[in-house]
Amino acid sequence: MTDLVNFIRFNADNTLTGNIASVAYDLDIFGEEFDSTNTKAPVYRLFAKTPRDRRVEIGGIWKKQNRVLSQKRGVSELGIRQWDEESCR
């Protein structure tokens, strides 16, 4: 793979590869696109292999988009980012 630690590489074929590591574990991970009509569903599903070479799902990656709220204040227009707790999770 590579010497990088705790990284994800998005590949041209809409898959991803990478690893997650700490002192206790060092996992090569891979993922595939997840198509869903649910707007809160992840965009990618993440997988790793067990010691017996079984594929197990370990998580997902969500796409986050910033929302901008424009307000008029006198002659200037401010671009203010609007955040809510649900979008930060």
Range of the domain at 59: 7-64
In a domain, 73, yes or no: no
What is the model's pTM? 0.66
Least confident of 23-27, 47-51, 63-67: 63-67
- Under the banding of pLDDT at 50, 70 and 90, the label for residue 75 is very low
Work out how many domains the chain is built from and give that number: 1
- Under the banding of pLDDT at 50, 70 and 90, the label for residue 65 is confident
Using alpha carbons, list the distances in angstroms from residue 24 to 20, 27, 33, 44, 72.
Answer: 11, 10, 28, 25, 53
In a domain, 42, yes or no: yes
- Under the banding of pLDDT at 50, 70 and 90, the label for residue 80 is very low
In a domain, 18, yes or no: yes
In a domain, 56, yes or no: yes
What value does the mean pLDDT of the chain take?
81
